[in-house]
Structure 1
């Protein structure tokens, strides 16, 4: 049985691409990755994964533009999240997967945090129905190895020097072809963590988010700080705040 890899955006699979090579998961991507520049990158992920026999399961859940996610979070558009969750629960009950791996909630992007919540709720529902399901997470923008969580690591993939070179080449090529924003993010991660850090892929036990606990983050999320800056600059008309996410998550997780 293959695991389910649930991610907010195309390109996240590159953080654990060697694990993807080895496990051949079903992959579900919530968005097409077009961001604010209107340039979807889903096709680039399809081209990356097809040669190794890994499917993006658009037949399970069709990816939407990022603007749809943001509209739902702001309350200006219908929320697809309840229907998505029901669909994934049905697939889990059919025995399509027994492990769920998803983005870690890092406060960097609201879609990342929402993805983590969806994964947690999915696993909760399956477990309450008697299914045995592992629930794991990986950092999207943070260091692959969190010193504070070293003892928690459940799955580890150590890349050979050749595998690391190949992974770094894939990451650079993907960023160059898709988005200047993604390239800036990649350059920042390499500067902060170093190339060698990408030679280890760690999966941690899934964590609860403050939103699921009906709490607010103790530190202002990066997405809210950036949103405020861009609102003041006239780039954004609205700011997605942690409170928006908390309210929507509470609605989505009521049946859990």
Structure 2
């Protein structure tokens, strides 16, 4: 099955390590993974992908994190509508049958934006082609083990050798090594031995959290009080209107 992996940040592909080996997807990144220090990490991911015989594609120029945040704060929609159009054209020209990407978690605006873009693209293609649409967790990866799985979901288990290869690749990725170490300390290496991909049942969904505000908004409020941030990305003011625009425009 011709597959596309579209992810918000370089490094997310490591949570789909065996998936990469099985499905051999084309890969597109929404951002360069530059973070607060403005140092892109995308090349590390490209090297990993190419080492597995896969290829990263650039139907649009990946954004820096600062570019994403500035566009969101200014309520700019045209650049993201252009990304949606580029992904749509890529799917058609490359005969993509399944698309997989970040889940809607309310943790990071770029992760959620990636999901909105995927869902909006799938919605826009419904009259032309049926695309199988799956997501996978980035932050609450514990749900890989604890979620109620449905028959149409994809669960992939790694054997000892595959798990070791995955952990080696993760620990050799300098930009995310601290995060990997933290998860290993809390849950052990075996925690990474299951990869779980959910069939998206509601592509129009704009929130998945039960709290008043998503995590990124609560985090932003704290940083503003500390004086670290000067502006707040708000779900109701910035993210929700952007998502609905992506769903409506075609």
Corresponding residue pairs, total: 247
Match of 2:222 in 1: 229
Cα distance between partner residues in 2 of 1:199 and 1:184: 19
Q: Distance in 1 between matches of 2:80 and 2:210?
A: 25
> Which one is further off, 242-251 or 68-77?
68-77
Conserved 8 A contact 1:104-1:206: no
User: 2:183 matched to 1:185?
Assistant: no
Q: CA deviation at 1:93?
A: 2.5
Per the alignment, residue 154 of structure 2 pairs with 155
2: CA distance, partners of 1:216 / 1:22: 29
Do the aligned residues in 1 keep the contact of 2:6 with 2:27 (CA within 8 Å)?
yes
Give how far 1:144 is off.
5.1
- Corresponding residue of 1:139: 137
Give the distance between the partners of 2:233 and 2:198, measured in 1 at CA: 28
Aligned counterparts of 2:242 and 2:110: Cα–Cα separation in 1? 12
* 1:52 matched to 2:52: yes
Q: What's the CA shift string for 1:83-119, capped at 9, x where partnerless? A: 0111111222334311010100111101101111111
Match of 2:86 in 1: 87
Q: Mark the CA change 1:167 to 1:213 in structure 2 (over 3 Å): closer, same or farther.
A: closer
Secondary structure in structure 1 of the residue aligned to 2:198: strand
**In the aligned structure 2, how far is the partner of 1:213 from the partner of 1:76?**
20
Q: For 1:184-223, what aligned pairs fall within 5 Å after superposition?
A: 184-206=178-200, 208=202, 212-213=204-205, 217-219=209-211, 220-223=213-216
Distance 1:186 1:242, change over 3 A: farther
Superposition RMSD in Å: 2.1
Q: CA deviation at 1:77?
A: 5.6
CA deviation after TM superposition for structure 1 residue 217, in Å: 4.7
Q: Structure 1 252/64 Cα, relative in aligned 2: closer, same or farther at 3 Å? A: same
In structure 1, the gaps of 5 or more residues are: none
Q: TM-score, normalised by structure 2?
A: 0.90
Range with bigger deviation, 36-45 or 149-158 = 149-158
Does the 8 Å contact 1:33/1:65 carry over to 2? yes
**In the alignment, is the contact (CA less than 8 A) between 2:116 and 2:246 conserved in 1?**
no
Q: Which runs of 5+ in 2 are unaligned?
A: none
Equivalent runs, 1:112-131 vs 2, <5 Å: 112-129=111-128, 131=129
Contact 2:104 2:208 in 1 (8 A): no
The 8 Å contact of residues 106 and 208 in structure 2, kept in 1 or not, is answered as: no
What SS is found at the alignment partner of 2:144?
coil
Equivalent in the alignment of 1:29? 29
Aligned residues of 1:137 and 1:203 also touching (Cα < 8 A): yes
CA–CA distance in structure 2, aligned partners of residues 14 and 239 of structure 1: 30
Residue among 212, 235, 242 paired with 1:242: 235
